[in-house]
Structure 1
Amino acid sequence: MAPINATGSTTRASLEALHRYAGASAPDSVFLDDMQHRIDAARPTATHRDGPLRILLLGYAGAGNTGADLRAIETIRQLRRLFGERAHLSLLALGERFDHPVLAEVPKRVPDFPYLPDALDAAIRDSDVVINMEGSTYTSRFSDSLAGALIGGVALAAAHGRLGIAYGVDSGSQSAALLSFVRCNAKLGHVIARNEAARHELLALGVACEAGADTAWTYRVEHDALAGDGILP
């Protein structure tokens, strides 16, 4: 399946895939297999167009996780300092809590399909750059489905001929299924680790990555925001 527009037939197929995933005895494995199928089926397409650079942001923002939100906020700030009006940012969020103004004002990508692998595929086709900004990426600590969406989103972008970047990511314990998925897509995308330990772990898995830092380290709370909350005079 390689959806382009949310037509009736492709939406039904995506809904059926979602039901199959939700009803599976091992849903994470089904999700990874479905992501891999879409990566393998993707083909590079031309992206030359006029207008701002379209940057799609992936992460765990909007789910009420403080660390994920801080990293998303700081990544957005950095991109705005670098590109200004030359880039259009959109966020494929995994939640609906955007109580920080930086997150609240970034346009949200409304999924075109009910099943996340299909929604990712459609969103990536409409983007020039895809950036995974979630620190907890190469790990099974939360769920392989989340890791598969983040790792697979970058790999799928690269397979479509877009620039796929994992920015400030960490590595931890992984299931056998996720390890296989990581190794299969190790050459797709550009990975920047958030510490040396993560870089060495990823290199051992065949993932070429550069040394970087945790984006949350440069996060600063604005004085006006604190004053507005009554924290500062």
Structure 2
Amino acid sequence: MEITPKKKGIENNGVDSKLKFKINTKGENPDKIIRKVMLMGYNGANNTGSETRLISIIEDVRKVLGPDVQITIPTLNEENLRRYIKEDSNLNIAPIPSIFFFAIRTLVKEQDLVLLVEGSCYMDTWTSALLWAFLWTTKCANSFNIPCIAYAVDAGDLSVFNKFLVKREAIKTDLIITRTSYAADKLLKMGVTAPIKHTADSAFTFQTEPEDYNTIKKNWNIETSSETTDDIVGIAVIDFNLWPVVIRPWGRKENLYKWPYYFSRSPKRILASKDLAYKWAAEADRIIETHRKNIAFICMEELDEPLAKNIVNNMRHPKNARIFSSSEFNASQMTEILRNVDFLVTSRYHAAVLSLEARIPQIAVGHDPRLKGLYKDLELDEDYLIDYISERNSINIWNHLSNSIDELIKNPRKNYDKINKGFVEHLAKSKKNRVILKEFLEKKGWDVES
């Protein structure tokens, strides 16, 4: 069903069938009204960051184009997406296959506007296939003369081949809005000549549900020791050794993400994952024993659960730990969990972003440019960012982390001013995303909400 702004003299829910045919097949829209928008991203992955971004961007689109705009959301996992997105007459969930090229081209052809909404847009950290999906979407939109905007996205490290593809295809994007200045600089250095603006991540405007306040305390079903306080240290973990996902015709079932995509696994990587779990377990036990805190392992994506479980299994004090996962809690609940810890150690970008509103003291252990870019903009990169990739072979990395945690737990207000300033600035920048979207469309002569 298609809903468009109503016009006198036009039937069929306000859609002129001839005009519809012309829009969908030729990429032309003579009356300059955007009726259909596609949001292309990492949708349906039980990933809290992607959920908060998508919900916030849907709100932005409706604020700019009106409540009747028809939104299409492609996904590889329809069931997961339906957990937090409700389909209705103005919102369509569109399942696509793992080999996505034809399906994406067909969907793009039907749109009036395409937004690339995945934060990790121009990077191959997770998998080249994801990057190719976004570049292919851009290419298709360009071929149909449909405006395409990368909406508050990031740029990261790329292989030589993928740098070539980004430079060749991203130039066809009508506008690229990056969520950090670091990402904008990276694209410019790659030779991307499309118009680029930098703001902040869309998740900064995400609103939680009132009933989800203090979710962490309501679900803290552990036997706390008399030796510990009620304080909670959140640790948002990620198994760096699973990535990137690679394309293979076959592989071990336990390594399958979704055919033909498999996690990168080898004896060396498996040992590295076990060592990572052991090191995190030792640090969690040290925090419990030294600072009398409890530990919340926060799985921002369902894929983080195996590592979190391995960590708890290796702990001396597992009763003082609890796992909170996006497979169990929705985006609003996960956000409230993040905002109700007393201290955060994060390897997840959106754990850092979503906790900032509560001014939670935090330290990052990053493995790609996303946290680096955020912490650089927050002016926290020199003192509170540990680069796991460059330091992982050094025995000092865990000593570095322990010392930083001790210092910040003893003086939690040490980075408060930077976090407070950073949140205020990033929230204001995030609100500019919809302003920039509206200004861009108006400049191109499109009809938008006043």
| Change over 3 Å in CA distance of 1:107–1:229 after alignment to 2 | farther
Q: How far apart, in 1, do the equivalents of 2:150 and 2:32 lie?
A: 25
Q: How does 1:27-42 map to 2 (within 5 A)?
A: none
Q: How far apart, in 2, do the equivalents of 1:69 and 1:89 lie?
A: 16
Report the equivalent of 1:23: none
Q: How far apart, in 2, do the equivalents of 1:47 and 1:121 lie?
A: 18
Report the equivalent of 2:143: 159
Equivalent of 1:91, from 73, 84, 87? Answer: 73
Report the equivalent of 1:138: 122
| Change over 3 Å in CA distance of 1:229–1:172 after alignment to 2 | closer
Contact 2:76-2:98 within 8 A present in 1 as well: no
**Deviation readout 1:42-68 (Å, 9 max, x if unpaired):** x96424479861001100111111111
**Deviation readout 1:201-222 (Å, 9 max, x if unpaired):** 0111122311121001111202
State the Cα distance separating 1:159 from its structure 2 match: 2.4
State the Cα distance separating 1:186 from its structure 2 match: 3.2
Q: How far apart, in 2, do the equivalents of 1:194 and 1:49 lie?
A: 32
- Give the 3-state SS of the residue equivalent to 1:109 in structure 2: strand
**Deviation readout 1:169-207 (Å, 9 max, x if unpaired):** 101111122111111113201211011000010111122
- Give the 3-state SS of the residue equivalent to 2:66 in structure 1: helix
Equivalent of 1:78, from 45, 60, 67? Answer: 60
| Change over 3 Å in CA distance of 1:192–1:50 after alignment to 2 | closer
Report whether the alignment pairs 1:216 with 2:203.
Answer: yes
Contact 1:186-1:206 within 8 A present in 2 as well: no
Contact 1:56-1:127 within 8 A present in 2 as well: yes
Contact 1:186-1:205 within 8 A present in 2 as well: no
Report the equivalent of 2:413: none
State the Cα distance separating 1:92 from its structure 2 match: 0.7
* 2:50 counterpart letter in structure 1: A
Q: How far apart, in 2, do the equivalents of 1:82 and 1:227 lie?
A: 32
Report whether the alignment pairs 1:196 with 2:181.
Answer: yes
| Change over 3 Å in CA distance of 1:50–1:179 after alignment to 2 | closer
Q: Which runs of 4+ in 1 moved over 6 A?
A: 227-230
* 2:100 counterpart letter in structure 1: L
Q: How does 1:175-186 map to 2 (within 5 A)?
A: 175-186=159-170
TM-score under structure 1 length normalisation: 0.71
State the superposition RMSD in angstroms: 2.8
Alignment length (residue pairs): 188
Q: How far apart, in 2, do the equivalents of 1:72 and 1:138 lie?
A: 17
Q: How far apart, in 1, do the equivalents of 2:200 and 2:109 lie?
A: 29
Q: How far apart, in 1, do the equivalents of 2:158 and 2:132 lie?
A: 11
Contact 2:37-2:70 within 8 A present in 1 as well: yes
Report whether the alignment pairs 1:56 with 2:38.
Answer: yes
* 2:141 counterpart letter in structure 1: A
State the Cα distance separating 1:115 from its structure 2 match: 3.1
Q: How far apart, in 2, do the equivalents of 1:186 and 1:150 lie?
A: 9
| Change over 3 Å in CA distance of 1:53–1:228 after alignment to 2 | farther
User: What percent identity do the matched residue pairs reach?
Assistant: 26
* 1:109 counterpart letter in structure 2: A
State the Cα distance separating 1:94 from its structure 2 match: 2.6
Contact 2:73-2:92 within 8 A present in 1 as well: yes
Equivalent of 2:132, from 148, 151, 154? Answer: 148
Structure 1: tracts of 5 or more residues without a match: 1-42
Q: How does 1:11-30 map to 2 (within 5 A)?
A: none
Contact 1:52-1:86 within 8 A present in 2 as well: no
Contact 1:55-1:129 within 8 A present in 2 as well: yes
